[in-house]
Each structure stands twice: as C-alpha cells, then as structure tokens.
Structure 1
Amino acid sequence: MERLSQQRLIAGLCFICGSLLLLIATTSDPIAIRNVRSQFAQIVQIQIEVLRNWQQHGRLNRDLAYGSRGSDIVLLQKMLAQDATNYPSKRVTGRYGELTQKAVRGFQADYGLPVTGMVDDATRAKLNDIFFSELCPQPRTIYPDMLYKKMSGESFLPPDYVPPGLEDISKKVPTAGVMCLREDVVPYLVQMFTDARNAGVDLMVSSGFRRPEIQKYLYELRVRTDGELASREIARPGLSEHQLGGTVDLTDASIGYEGAARGFAESLGGIWLEQNAHKYGFTLSYPARVSETTGIQYEPWHWRFVGVDMATSLKARGTTFNEQPDAMGDLRNLTAIRPNAAP
C-alpha cells in the first residue's frame, strides 16, 4: 500500500485540521482560538517547509546510506517523517542512523522496491516523484478545459478538478518555494518576468496552483474564526481561481517580497504590472472598484491569465474577466470523463 501517496499526505493534514476546526467550534475563548490558528499555521508551514527544502536541494540527487551525514539527510528525514508508520520518531538529525535506515526499508517495502535500507537510484526517484506529484498533480478525471472559466458564486469548480499540464516554475522564475502553473501559461509568465527585470522590477511568485483540499480547510478555518468576513478574504472551496492553474499571486523586491500585501499596489512591481501585465495575457481579478459587487476584497497581488487579446481588451474597457459572460456555463451538471472509461 502506498502510504506516502499524495492522498495519504493530504488526508493526514485534513484530519489534523479537522480536529482543530472542531476545537474552534466548541470554544469561544479568544486566546484558545488564537492558539489554534497558530497551530494550524504551524502544520501548514511544516508541509510547505519540507517541500521548499526539497525544491531548494534540487531534489535528492545522490545515493544515501547508513553513516551518511549532511543537509540532504535532513531533507530525507523530513520527507520520511510525513509517514509516522514508517518513521514514528520523526527525528531530524542530519545523520543516517538505524532509525532512518529502518524507515527507508519500510518505505521500500511499501512501494515494492528492493529492500536495501539505502537510498539508491530507484528509492530516490520514487521519493522525488511523490513530492513533485504533491505539488503538480495530474488530472484523474477529465473535464472540459476551464482555463477561461468565469468564477462566480453560481458556478463552482468540480471538487476533483485538476488542470492539465501543471509544471514546476521554480526553476524558471523567482518563487517563494515550489510553485506550479499550467505549461501553456508558463511562457507568458516567463516573458513578463524577463521584461519586468529589464525594467528594474524584480517580481516573485508567492502562490500558484492550489489544491482544493487545502483551500477547503483554509476557508473553513477562517469562517470559524472570522465569521462572515472570511468570504471577503479567501475564496470559498470551488471558487478559487488558483485551482484553475493559470493564476498567480505576485510580490516584488521593493516591498521585501511580502506576500498578499495591500502595499503591493503602490510598489514598483504593482505599478509595472498595472501598466504592462495585459501585454502578457494577465489581468487583475479583484480591483478595488469591484469589491462591493464581487464580495472579494481588493487584491492587487492576484493576477490571472486570460490570453493577450482578452487581457488587452479588458484593460482598454476598464473591466474584469469575471464581469464577462460565462462561456463555460454552469459546471454543476457536467459529466466527467474518467481515463480509460467508455465514452
């Protein structure tokens, strides 16, 4: 059984988050609520930090065995610690000892690999594939292409929707860790970053594709703690443009690469994007003027790819993509096509 598969990782995270949400629901103590929010942030950060460490190492890239030491052993131990069954101690020492060797043996047995206790070519490849698929999953259900779907409260994305062709962009543009985007959007983003850099603006991606499972628990937590205000600060599950795979949150060096910052609108990057993003097919989804009608607060960092022609037209008309007629229609009654299923 693949204990370290993306489904198990997410299920474990969601179980913990669900427990925290239950605690919030049964207490009105503001101190307790703050503590729970802090715990949730720490849980999410643990997951993100492991993935960021993995990306910064350029994946596990050498054989590892009993007695090995170094930063890549730290990364290996953090990866193994995501599965408490094989590595219950979760010790991160930077030394490949008996506990790490035992955990590697358990991992190899789970995946039908030769049980050597060493991180050899096959084991290393499997670990790298698992962590990459956690960030850039492949669609398991085939839907119509939704890159240009209008997002509204009347038409939700299917909960199992994953956009096609997700690609890691962390090697192509500056990012705050491993980020994924649709491969057909990436060239436009890369060119935009290149031209911005040539103009003296250093942009960075702080968020890209976001799994709907994480969006769900982020939203529910905010509802428990912030009530009705949550819907103005974070999209409901199924309504996040990040799930489409063509949307990025951006920041820049002039504000210290702060993420989701109101001040980004007045930053060098924010001003440059306002003047130029449409040339590369990106449009601002939630400008200040539509916050009352959309119910979403002003997000100067949130840029969505809609194609050069559409973005240029929207810029000229001073309107947003979500104010246009919905070419995709209501997705609630769409029949999904599963791979290998009969048409």
Structure 2
Amino acid sequence: MNRLPLARRTAAALLLSAALLAGCSKAAPSPSDAAAPPAGATKPSGSYIALAVEPGTLSLSPGAKKQVTVSGVKKDQSKQPLAGDKSLTLSSSAPDIVTAAADGTIAASAQAKTGQTAIVTVQYGSLKKDIPVTVKTSLDDTIATVGGVPTVTNPDALDVVVNKQRSMPGTYIPKLIEPNVPFTFKEKSEKRMMRPEAAGALEQLFAAAKKDGIQLYGISAYRSYATQKSIFGGNVKSQGEQTASQFSAKPGQSEHQTGLAIDVGDGNPKCAVEQCFADSPAAKWLVAHAADFGFIIRYPKGKESITGYEYEPWHIRYVGVDVAKEIAKQGITLEEYFQDAVAAGTKPKQ
C-alpha cells in the first residue's frame, strides 16, 4: 500500500478539520439569525392565567347579534384586551343555530327557534372559556288565552313579562323567603317575601348601598292575586277605574305576584312610593347601581306608552345581572328587551 509522506498526511488532516468546522457553523445559525414571528402574532397564553369574556352569557333573538369582549387575565388579575390577536379563536357547538366570528361577534340564525342553545368556545393558546348562548324567548311564544284572559305560560322565568296584556295565572304562588333587609314596617306580612334568587340579590344591593352611605328600606314585595284584587278594588272605589289603572295593576297583572319585584324607599314617608323619590340620593344610586345586582327600574320615565304605567322610580324588578345590564345600558324597558316595544298588545294563542 502506498503511503503519503508524513508531512503531506498532516497537512491533509488539518484541511479536513477546517472544512468540518466551517460546515458546523453553517448548520447552526445564531439566535439572531432565527426567523422573526409574523406581524400581529402574540405568544398564546404566555403571560395569562385565564380568559375573561364580557358578557359571560348571551340571550339573542333570532337574527340578532352581539359582540363580546375577550381579555387575557394576568397573575395580578389585570386584564389585557385580545381584540385583533390572531391567536384568538371562537367556535360554536351548533353553527346552524349560533355563529361566532374572530372579532367576537356572536349571531343567532334568523331560523333559530325559541329556547335553542349553543356553546361558543373562546380559545387562546391553551386557555379556553365557554359562553352559553340561548335563543331568546319570544313574547308570542309565552302567552296563551286561559279562561278568556291572556296569560303568561312561563311564570317561573326570571325574565317573565307581566303587564296589562299579559297576566299571571291566578293560582300561581312562587316559592318565597324573607330577605334579610330592613322594611318600613315591623309586622310579619307576605309583602316581606320574595323568590330566593331575588331575595339574595336584594340583600347584596342593600349592603352595597349602605357601604356607599345610602340607607334603603323595603316597602312592599310579594303580593298574592287575592291581595292585588283587594288593592285594585280599593283604588277603583276611591279614584275611579281609569285613574286607578294608570298606577295600579289589576289582579294577575301585577309584577309583585311574580315574587321578583319590590317597592323600596329611603325612609322618608313623604316620598314613599311617590315620584318625588326620584330626586333622592337613594333613587339616583339605584339608577346607577341596581343593574349590578340584577335589578331594573321597571317603569322608567318616558316609557309609559310601552309599560302601561306611570313612572315609578321606587319599583325595582329582578331579572338577573346579564339582562339587567343590557336593559340599563340601552335605556330600554323589559318589553323592548325582547325587541318588540308593542309586545304588550300581542294577540294571545287560542
């Protein structure tokens, strides 16, 4: 076997080592040479521990849509809106009923039916948040003629609409408890009682008002069909039916029978259940904060032609936080919330 001289073999080995070193440097570029992330991209869930969605639940009429706001929640509980982030996705469990777009717009199909539901899942990296969506109850679907009287068919619903064209069943009596709040009277009475959901929320509302220096008192909560019959009859005798109907409900047409409504005051007897209550700090506090606890001012000023009743700043009604905030934000009534301002006059099913 022919061998190269030692000197030449040594030189060849050195050249081979240099070539290998050069190849290695090309195969492993420095971090500064790595490709940059695409514009607009954010590292999914890197600095967030959870997602926050507002509103957290939706109730949409067929064909209606609403945009939700999605934020990333950091360890210090601060929130960063994620609008426009390409890593954010929304998907629907039932696209034929509800659709969800990347910009946060959630829409109910025009063909969706009352009571249908879907879950919209918001995802950002490994973080997920579900938004329950319900196709809003139609007022036409929740009324029927019973004994010649247009009567609601969903008396247990928190958003039941009761007015002069939509009566509660005469035999309806909800489950009732007494909220732990001060009243303007000491005796035991049915007008201290409310449905548990409303009673708990009322306790929180009164506590928050007191923290802000506002003392509230309950005046009249639940009223049975029989009690309302007696009250209305007395008002008719003293003021005539036409005048009485402007401020007093006929039996079955009172929200108080639902167990979700209560008249409140600030302890001033002069303005108890009178419109002058509207000028009090307590009434102004209610306008600003009632929705945070699921209550609305049921008979607002300027909406008499829709609600059928005069302005009552003292009458608050529990409908749940999401519905209350929507109504307060838009400055509408419960009737208008169902996208039918003249729904109080809809023809009942035969």
Scaled by the length of structure 2, the TM-score of the pair is: 0.50
Return the alpha-carbon distance in structure 2 between the equivalents of residues 282 and 143 of structure 1: 19
Is 1:214 aligned to 2:230, yes or no? no
Residue 269 to residue 331, structure 1, CA distance change in 2 (3 Å): farther
Is 1:283 aligned to 2:296, yes or no? yes
Give runs of aligned pairs for residues 162-201 of structure 1, distance below 5 A.
Answer: 162-164=173-175, 166-169=176-179, 172-177=180-185, 178=188, 179-201=192-214
Residue 278 (structure 1) shift: 0.4
Residue 245 to residue 224, structure 1, CA distance change in 2 (3 Å): same
Is 1:245 aligned to 2:259, yes or no? yes
**Equivalent pair of 1:262/1:300 in contact (CA under 8 Å):** yes
Matched with 1:235 is 249
Return the alpha-carbon distance in structure 2 between the equivalents of residues 154 and 233 of structure 1: 15
Return the alpha-carbon distance in structure 2 between the equivalents of residues 284 and 193 of structure 1: 15
Residue 333 (structure 1) shift: 7.4
Matched with 1:299 is 312
Q: Which residue of 170, 184, 190 maps to 1:159?
A: 170
Aligned-pair identity in percent equals 32
Residue 331 (structure 1) shift: 12
**Greater C-alpha Rg:** 2
Residue 187 to residue 159, structure 1, CA distance change in 2 (3 Å): same
Return the alpha-carbon distance in structure 1 between the equivalents of residues 252 and 336 of structure 2: 18
Q: 3-state SS of the aligned residue for 1:273?
A: helix
Residue 156 to residue 331, structure 1, CA distance change in 2 (3 Å): farther
Matched AA of 1:315: A
Residue 322 (structure 1) shift: 2.7
Q: 3-state SS of the aligned residue for 1:285?
A: strand
Return the alpha-carbon distance in structure 1 between the equivalents of residues 243 and 207 of structure 2: 37
Matched with 1:318 is 331
Scaled by the length of structure 1, the TM-score of the pair is: 0.51
Over residues 65-112 of structure 1, what are the superposed CA-to-partner deviations in whole Å (9 max), with x where a residue is unaligned? xxxxxxxxxxxxxxxxxxxxxxxxxxxxxxxxxxxxxxxxxxxxxxxx
Q: 3-state SS of the aligned residue for 1:301?
A: strand
Matched with 2:139 is none
Matched AA of 2:225: P
The alignment of Structure 1 onto Structure 2 pairs a total of residues equal to: 189
Residue 331 to residue 233, structure 1, CA distance change in 2 (3 Å): same
- RMSD over aligned CA atoms reads 2.7
Over residues 112-143 of structure 1, what are the superposed CA-to-partner deviations in whole Å (9 max), with x where a residue is unaligned? xxxxxxxxxxxxxxxxxxxxxxxxxxxxxx97
Matched with 1:5 is none
Give runs of aligned pairs for residues 97-176 of structure 1, distance below 5 A.
Answer: 145-164=156-175, 166-169=176-179, 172-176=180-184
Q: 3-state SS of the aligned residue for 1:184?
A: helix
Matched AA of 1:297: E
**Equivalent pair of 1:251/1:257 in contact (CA under 8 Å):** no
Residue 148 (structure 1) shift: 1.8
> Which fold has the larger relative contact order, with Cα–Cα distance below 8 Å and residues 6 or more apart in sequence?
1
Runs of 4+ residues over 4 Å off in structure 1: 326-334
Residue 144 (structure 1) shift: 5.4
Over residues 169-217 of structure 1, what are the superposed CA-to-partner deviations in whole Å (9 max), with x where a residue is unaligned? 2xx1111234001112222111111110010000000000011101112
Residue 331 to residue 305, structure 1, CA distance change in 2 (3 Å): farther
Over residues 34-67 of structure 1, what are the superposed CA-to-partner deviations in whole Å (9 max), with x where a residue is unaligned? xxxxxxxxxxxxxxxxxxxxxxxxxxxxxxxxxx
Return the alpha-carbon distance in structure 1 between the equivalents of residues 347 and 226 of structure 2: 19
Residue 143 to residue 271, structure 1, CA distance change in 2 (3 Å): closer
Return the alpha-carbon distance in structure 2 between the equivalents of residues 163 and 257 of structure 1: 32
Q: 3-state SS of the aligned residue for 1:313?
A: helix
Is 1:272 aligned to 2:285, yes or no? yes
**Equivalent pair of 2:158/2:320 in contact (CA under 8 Å):** no
